[in-house]
Amino acid sequence: MLFFVFLLNVIYLVVAISIHEFAHAFAADRLGDPTARVAGRLTLNPIAHIDPVGTILLPLGLLLLSGGSFAYGWGKPTPFDPYNLKNPRRDSAIISIAGPISNLLLAIAVSILIRFTPYVFAVFLTPLILTNIGLAIFNLIPVGPLDGQKIIFGLLPRDLAYEFQAIMNRYGMLILLFLIFPFFGGEAPIMSIITPPIRFLAGILIP
C-alpha cells in the first residue's frame, strides 16, 4: 500500500508538471512567440517536459525523505524568445504565471469532480488536488529559476526589475537549494513559506 501511494504521488507530480509546462508553452505561443511550439513543448506528453533533476531526482528524494508525504519539483524550462513578444517584461510575466494558474485550475476541476465521485475514488483523487496546489505555490516563490522570479521581474519598475534579475542570476539557485533541502534531519525551510497557503487552498478545495 505504501508503494502504491508513493507511485501515485509520482504520477500525479509528473501530470501536474506536464500541464504546468504546457501552459507556459501555450501562453508564449498565444503571445506571438513560436519558440516552445517549434521545440515540441506545446504538448501534454510528459516526456517532452521531464527534467532529470527537477522532475525525477528531486521529487523522488523528497518523497523518500518525507515518507511519501510531500514532494515538489519543476519541469524542463519552457523556452521562449522575449524578442518575439510585444511587451517582453509584461508578456514574460504572463507566460510565467500561466504555469501556476494551470495547476490551480486543475485542482479546482478535480475538486468539483470528486464531489460527484464515489468516496473510494475520491480518496485517490484528493492527492492530485494537493499536488497541483503545492506545485503552484512552490513555483510562485520569487527565487532561482522558479516562475515567481520572472513574475516579479515583470511587475517591478524597470530599474528595480533589472537589479532584482541580476541578484537572482547570481544567487537565485543557491537560495533555492538552501530552501528546499532539510538540514540536520529537520523540515526544509521552504515548508514554513508554502505550508500556510497550501493549507488555506486545500481547506477550500478538498471536501
Decide if 168 contacts 149 (C-beta within 8 A).
yes
Instruction: Give the catalytic positions in this structure.
Output: 21
* Nine cell digits for residue 82: 522575449
Integer CA distances (angstroms), 205 to 4, 104, 127, 148, in order: 24, 10, 11, 23
Decide if 97 contacts 147 (C-beta within 8 A).
yes
Decide if 131 contacts 9 (C-beta within 8 A).
yes
Distance CA 129, CA 88 (A): 32
190: number of CA atoms within 13 Å, CB side? 23
